[in-house]
Structure 1
Amino acid sequence: MSKNNILVGAIQETKLCDKSKALTTYNYTLVRQDRGTDKGGGLAFLVHDDINFYSNSTPANLINDPHIETQTITIPGKDFDLQIRNVYIPPTASCSSPYQPNIEALFEDLNETSILVGDVNAHHSSWYSDDEDDARGRAIVDAIDALDFGILNEDTPTRVTAQSSTAPDLTIVSSLLLPVTNWKTEIKSSSDHLPITISITAEITKLKSEHKTYINFAKADWTGFTEYTEKIFSRAKLVTNVYASEKYFRNNILKAANKFIPKGRILHPISNIPTEAAILIEERDSIRSQNPSDQRIPDLNKQINTKISDHKRQKWREHLDNCKSGSKNFWNTIKKLNNPTQQPKNQGIEFNGKIYNDPKKIAHN
């Protein structure tokens, strides 16, 4: 997502059910909706930290539905407010008989600039010609015909395994967005469901981007730093004004730091992915795009997961080594472990029918 500048991600089947297990998502706000009853299903949005948004309530006719899971957010924009609804409907075999999903309710409360995305486990030739029509697919087509929405999928599979290619994942958009929206699948990640990239030509309100920088003390030229500062201070004139002396000292230390300590801005940080794993990911995706049933893919996935897990474990150990008792790192770590869930800065809160994102306005209301 970082590499391709994806601002919002919608995920189905997160299989998360324990709210106490906090997940760290770098540069993105994670909005979870866990199933709660077991380890299946589950939905999540990943919203870039630069994007303001707020969550919407579940449609009234789906609150008591035993199988359909939905999650909706709204992103305020300059041209319009974009609504995105994330949906998961389990396969018919996993639903109680004779359950039939309420397809019309999926569109309840959506505005005229909305996108509905998700794994609906439905098949129809209207979005993939190699699929045989099933009852759920026919119900979706009938519902869309009666509404001001259209299917964005192109005639391509969204789920590819070694044995078959199908399209259980749907993207449905309101008619106003159809002319300005593009859709494509990509051969990425280890999931048999292919990532779907949706792009919309519209302006949205972005927060001021946080400058993520690094200072690499490990590669600093301390010999040069010392020689440079000693030379400057040895030539300094005696000044009795303490404020002028502090300013002179600070400015020269900063000059030396800029000269001898590497630093810069991280444009596209991808945390917790070591170089070895990134190389294997590129290799895996290349092989999979040519042959999804290649026998090397499972082994590559295993190697990738192992390298990422080892890297994260090592980083955590290094972090703990730096958490000396009473230090800032120590107390920050304790704070995060004891209070893992905090209100994201870019997620709005509703007061008296109005949505507020600004912290001062939220505190005032």
Structure 2
Amino acid sequence: MDDILLPLYNVHIDDKPSIRTVYISNLIFSLIIVLILLQSNDIEQNPGPNSSRYSYQNIQIAGINVNSLRYKTDLIHSELGECDVICVSETKLKANVGSTDLVMPNFHNPDLFRKDRSTDGGGGILIYVRDSLHCKRRSDLEIAELESVCVEITTQTGRFLVVCFYRPPNAPVTSLDHFENLLDNVIDTDKNVILLGDLNIDLLKASPTSRISRICERYGIENVVKEPTRITSSTATLLDPIYMNNLSLLRNSMVLPSFCSDHSPTLIEINFSTARQKAYSKVVYDYESGDYASANMYLQRKNWNECFKNVHDINKINGLINQEVHHVMDTYIPKKKVLVRPRDKPWITTSIKVKMRKRNRAYKKAKSRNLISDWKKFKELRNEVIDLVREAKRQYLINLHNSLVDKSIPPGKWWRIAKSVCKFKNKESQNSPIKVNGEILIHPIEKATAINDYFCSISRFDTEPQLPNVPPLAPYELSDIVITEQDVIDHFQILNINKPAGPDKLPPKFLKAIFPSLVTPLTFIFNKSLQSGIVPSDWKLANVSAIYKGKGDQDNVSNYRPISLVLDPHDLHLQGYEWRGQIFIDNRLIFGMHSSPQACQRTTNAVSYMLWKSNIHTINYVDDFGGVSDNQNAEHDYNFVLELFQRTGLEVSKEKCLPPTKVLTFLGKE
């Protein structure tokens, strides 16, 4: 270290150093500091957070007068879909227009924050709120005399109110009294308030002594929009303000090019944050073009006995097998890296994005020069973009409809397409925030951890249930199991290739194509697991989705149920199986292949389901012991079923790789 620093100390600096000398000196000093830190060996050379597909970003709120919302939701979603809150005024909707015609992906049900005018079909308010935000309607703050909708949004750092309003152009000046009444209600809440809408008053001409200016001063609100929001060849007016009572929250404000009416959208960014999914890279394999002959040849030449020699840890054995299979997949299956933008609309192509940018440049040019020819060019491009977006969405839906008649499409994919086309959705979104101990969780990792902890907690009994002392009627013993290669082959043959990959990222479609070469190592590890009484840790992992039950508060973790995305033979349901003419029951199916047992939900019909497969006939007796919320009932049902099985001649297996257990393994946690 001294050899490095000594030449650096001898740099000569004049009494009046030049700018270049000072720059070099600062650079050398910085280098010295870096070298000292690196020499200390206690810091990372490349520090920084681990990469994540999600990040916290400022909440974006947009407002727009659409002059009739119907048939314009695709345009709004294409242009403003990145925003978290979209306040729409002058919707002109009637009661016969249902929510299915207004729904936008990844936003709450629009009927929750909608107010239609009941008289002449004009006016109307609707607020779109992203489904990852915790929100509720504050109808108690709204007033009947002024068209308005108020929504309270809660984040991890606080709460704020978003108010959308509409004042008709023919409204008398006295209508501002109603605007004051609305301000009385929302300002008195002592919350941060953001008001967006169409005031139909040109604020560019409003003097400090005007009625609207005095109202703003009295209530401590300020308009953050400083540009015209409605521009024609002869006029430029500011009709669509955004009022805030706390300007310290404001990060940015702007007026966007108009795209579906003669009003330009307004947008602000505020200091409240939300989790947004970022673009990420993904490796995609082309399994149809794989060289499976070479892959099998490579694995068949592998000396598995030599690989497993002197390796006694079953987790290391499992790791060696997975390592070789992944190597084969990477070597003999064509792959490419693609950039996934999860927030992009699937029908918005690159050419449409280019046309949008061209339209935006034309808008800036027309606004700065204010020439008739420039405005004409902008409107032509705007209409062209509208036509392109609508045609792209129409063609996208046609392609989805055509996919539904394809008989070769897997059932799961068919249902996903059908739900997308028909807009079948759960009553509530699955992306809603979770509340734990009064704290709002919005980041997907935080929500997954909270739900995971809850699922783990409910899978344990407070006390171990006492098994009934009933002598078995059938003198069966399961003291020795030897799995043959034919048993493994039989399971491979029933492997469903349409199922997704599990946590090991090995898709069944690929495994089934190379299964002749995997029979030997898998037979070895299955028998090793039985002999040692240890199950590889990776076999205890599963991809699990938390599904809302459809009742109760959606921010309550107890109102979700775990659904395994891959049918896992290691899930701890009470199961039975037949082994070479003898029937046994246990809490765990011992084999490492996906056997796809049929689920039987309640105790009353437990014995009615039996799935005969290959040499092993799986019986899944009970999936939910009395409901996860009641451990006493669960214990009672568990004992009842065991007693029932024993009285009918089914014995609980005692000589197994794992004893009967009720601990659920969820994402690696027990």
Q: 1:44 aligns with which of 122, 126, 129?
A: 126
Structure 1 residue 14 corresponds to structure 2 residue 102: no
C-alpha deviations, 1:15-49, integer Å up to 9, x for none? 44412434453444464515164653333334344
1-structure distance, mates of 2:281, 2:92: 34
The verdict on how the C-alpha distance between 1:230 and 1:197 changes in structure 2, with shifts beyond 3 A counting, is same
2-structure distance, mates of 1:228, 1:361: 50
TM-score (norm 2): 0.43
**2:242 equivalent in structure 1:** 171
Q: 2:390 aligns with which of 309, 312, 318?
A: 309
Query: Structure 1 stretch 6-15 or stretch 158-167: which is displaced more?
Result: 6-15
Contact 2:107/2:130 (CA < 8 Å) preserved in 1? yes
1-structure distance, mates of 2:426, 2:91: 18
C-alpha deviations, 1:24-78, integer Å up to 9, x for none? 53444464515164653333334344x422122224561x32xx32222222234
Q: 1:122 aligns with which of 174, 197, 201?
A: 201
**1:91 equivalent in structure 2:** 169
1:30-41 equivalence runs, <5 A: 31=110, 32-35=113-116, 37=118, 40-41=122-123
Contact 2:117/2:123 (CA < 8 Å) preserved in 1? no
C-alpha deviations, 1:70-111, integer Å up to 9, x for none? 22222223442122112122212xx59986650122221443
Shift of 1:216: 5.8
Contact 1:225/1:256 (CA < 8 Å) preserved in 2? no
The verdict on how the C-alpha distance between 1:227 and 1:23 changes in structure 2, with shifts beyond 3 A counting, is farther
Q: 1:185 aligns with which of 229, 241, 254?
A: 254
The verdict on how the C-alpha distance between 1:213 and 1:170 changes in structure 2, with shifts beyond 3 A counting, is same
Structure 1 residue 54 corresponds to structure 2 residue 172: no
Contact 1:215/1:261 (CA < 8 Å) preserved in 2? yes
2-structure distance, mates of 1:15, 1:26: 22
The verdict on how the C-alpha distance between 1:165 and 1:253 changes in structure 2, with shifts beyond 3 A counting, is farther
Structure 1 residue 159 corresponds to structure 2 residue 230: yes
Q: 2:427 aligns with which of 326, 342, 346?
A: 342
| One-letter identity of the residue aligned with 1:161 | T
1:286-325 equivalence runs, <5 A: 286-292=361-367, 293=372, 294-323=375-404, 324=406
Query: Over aligned residue pairs, what C-alpha RMSD do you find?
Result: 4.3
Contact 1:83/1:111 (CA < 8 Å) preserved in 2? no
**2:352 equivalent in structure 1:** 277
TM-score (norm 1): 0.73
Contact 1:349/1:362 (CA < 8 Å) preserved in 2? no
Q: 1:146 aligns with which of 193, 214, 218?
A: 218
**1:358 equivalent in structure 2:** 555
Shift of 1:286: 0.8
Contact 2:123/2:166 (CA < 8 Å) preserved in 1? yes
| One-letter identity of the residue aligned with 1:273 | I
**1:232 equivalent in structure 2:** 298
Shift of 1:358: 2.5
SS in 2 for 1:122: coil
| One-letter identity of the residue aligned with 1:9 | I
2-structure distance, mates of 1:16, 1:237: 72
Shift of 1:346: 4.8
2-structure distance, mates of 1:189, 1:230: 59
Contact 1:15/1:40 (CA < 8 Å) preserved in 2? yes
Give the percent of matched residue pairs that are identical in Structure 1 and Structure 2. Answer: 17
Contact 2:290/2:333 (CA < 8 Å) preserved in 1? no
Contact 1:75/1:82 (CA < 8 Å) preserved in 2? yes
Contact 2:289/2:333 (CA < 8 Å) preserved in 1? no
Shift of 1:132: 5.4
2-structure distance, mates of 1:26, 1:251: 36
Contact 1:82/1:113 (CA < 8 Å) preserved in 2? yes
The verdict on how the C-alpha distance between 1:30 and 1:283 changes in structure 2, with shifts beyond 3 A counting, is farther
Q: 2:330 aligns with which of 252, 255, 267?
A: 255
Query: Structure 1 stretch 34-43 or stretch 78-87: which is displaced more?
Result: 34-43
| One-letter identity of the residue aligned with 2:330 | K
2-structure distance, mates of 1:224, 1:89: 64
Count of residue pairs brought into register by the alignment: 340
Q: 2:190 aligns with which of 92, 107, 111?
A: 111
C-alpha deviations, 1:250-272, integer Å up to 9, x for none? 63565358852444432652432
Shift of 1:166: 0.5
The verdict on how the C-alpha distance between 1:141 and 1:319 changes in structure 2, with shifts beyond 3 A counting, is same
2-structure distance, mates of 1:60, 1:25: 26
2-structure distance, mates of 1:61, 1:278: 39
| Higher Rg | 2
- Which residues of structure 1 form unaligned runs of 5+? none
Shift of 1:235: 2.8
Contact 1:15/1:39 (CA < 8 Å) preserved in 2? yes
Contact 1:10/1:45 (CA < 8 Å) preserved in 2? yes
Query: Structure 1 stretch 20-29 or stretch 302-311: which is displaced more?
Result: 20-29
Query: Larger % of helix: which?
Result: 2
The verdict on how the C-alpha distance between 1:346 and 1:70 changes in structure 2, with shifts beyond 3 A counting, is farther
Q: 1:328 aligns with which of 389, 412, 417?
A: 412
- Which residues of structure 2 form unaligned runs of 5+? 1-59, 61-78, 309-316, 441-552, 561-628, 630-670
**1:194 equivalent in structure 2:** 264
2-structure distance, mates of 1:19, 1:264: 36
